[in-house]
Amino acid sequence: MSLAFAKQEFLSRNEAACRKIAARDVDVALVFSASNQYYLTGYSAGSSYTPQVLIVPADGSQPTLITRTMDALTATLTAYLDDAHVVALPESFIGVSDKDGFDFICSHVSSMGYSSKRIGVELSTGYLGATTWEKMKRLLPNAKFSDITGVITQLRTVKSPAEVVYMRQAAAISDSAMAAAVNAIGPGVRECDAAAEIVAALARGTDGFGGSQVYNPAMPAGIRQKAPHLYWTDSPYKTGAGVNIELAGNRFKYVSPLSRTISVGEPSKGLSDLHATVLEAMECAVEQMKTGNLCATVSDAFQAVIVPRGYTKTSRIGYSIGIDWMEGTASLQKSDTTELVPNMTFHMICGMWEEKDVSCVLSESFLITEQGAESLSKMPRKLFVKN
């Protein structure tokens, strides 16, 4: 067994989860989010394309993981669970038309004595669609279901010291990958060749630790620059093009995103002016990332700089990060009144895509501390120029 965290950390997380579940008047929770399954157990196989579930009793007893037979070994290698609490989903439920993994899951839930209990379900997950939900209600007709979407996820918002270590390591990987991007990009270089250098850096990590997983970097260039989530092409970079790079190092599934803009050749005045404004606005927003302030306050500080200068950004300027990039809890936007507390981690993404002729990105990962916001990146906040 090779755990990403000490066993006691997983036990503490499950104790907190059980308290939350019990407070929702639920006897058992069916956790379908792969990120939450990882958070509670350490299970890290890329197997969530087939039905799998973590069954978490509210009484504090050890959870049970049901995952595909071929992935059950991974659970015994990466999760803190006893072997008896890893249940293999038979291959006879995979890839057939008359049944699927939820038939087995419901049968097993019943065999555990929960068929007439109060069952909390994470309803907002990728593969738990309307048809599956109807099947679960049909196969467990005496159960009392309730939606617990977000209950476990909310626990992940404040990081433990061990999680912060991984976030810092992920940030160091991001810095290395961004340095590779700056070094690789230039006139005549194919976008795909630059992407290869970035991806290699994300996998290689640093001398002290490697990357655990690679997300494709977003790197739109030229006329594609204003589309924020495009990858690369095999076209060469042309002088005069801007390149927006967004990437994220990954360390044991924890990510620390980072964004910078690179100008191929000397930047236009429009790009230089926009970047200077965004830099100032970002630094003003960072000053508001203090314990006790609200997410909305941070967003307001950014807008107070760009709006008087005629710039527009309607998207949020950041969000809570951790496992698998985006947590889906707190957002740095006007409508979010979440209070900032120590050990929350955010990706502040000051991407500007709405201006008529110009675009740039500037982002970093931040840790909230008692003293304010600490950037996890050491990459200069400048507009990089490659001639």
pLDDT in tens, 287-320: 999 999 999 999 999 999 999 999 999 999 999 9
Across the range 157-186, mean pLDDT stands at 98
Q: What percent of the chain has pLDDT over 90?
A: 94
Which tens digits make up the pLDDT trace of 349-379? 999 999 999 999 999 999 999 999 999 999 9
Q: What is the pLDDT of residue 127?
A: 73
H or E element in which residue 184 lies: helix 161-184
Whole-number Å distance between alpha carbons of 144 and 118: 5
- Contact (CB, 8 A) for 169 and 253: no
pLDDT above 90: residue 58: yes
Which tens digits make up the pLDDT trace of 30-56? 999 999 999 999 999 889 889 999 999
Distances (CA, A) of 95 to 69, 138, 212: 13, 21, 29
Across the range 64-75, mean pLDDT stands at 95
Quick one: pLDDT band at residue 187, thresholds 50, 70, 90?
Answer: very high
Whole-number Å distance between alpha carbons of 361 and 261: 6
Domains identified in the chain and CATH numbers: 7-155 (3.40.350.10), 161-386 (3.90.230.10)
Whole-number Å distance between alpha carbons of 75 and 69: 10
Distances (CA, A) of 13 to 9, 21, 84, 304, 372: 6, 12, 20, 39, 26
Angle (nearest 5°) at CA 218 between 221 and 128: 145
Residue type, 230: L
Quick one: pLDDT band at residue 129, thresholds 50, 70, 90?
Answer: confident
Check residue 356 and report its DSSP letter.
S
Quick one: pLDDT band at residue 128, thresholds 50, 70, 90?
Answer: confident
Phi, psi angle pair for 121, to nearest 5°: -130, 135
Bridge-partner residues for 236, per DSSP? 190
Whole-number Å distance between alpha carbons of 219 and 200: 15
Quick one: pLDDT band at residue 336, thresholds 50, 70, 90?
Answer: very high
Place of tokens 């960072």: 286
DSSP-derived secondary structure for 101-166: HHHHHHHHHHHTT-TTSEEEE---STT--HHHHHHHHHHSTT-EEEE-TTHHHHHTSBPPHHHHHH
Quick one: pLDDT band at residue 260, thresholds 50, 70, 90?
Answer: very high
Whole-number Å distance between alpha carbons of 113 and 27: 11
Angle (nearest 5°) at CA 119 between 117 and 123: 160
Q: What is the pLDDT of residue 139?
A: 97
DSSP-derived secondary structure for 199-244: HHHHHH--SS---S--PPPB--BGGGTTSTT----SPBP-TT-EEE
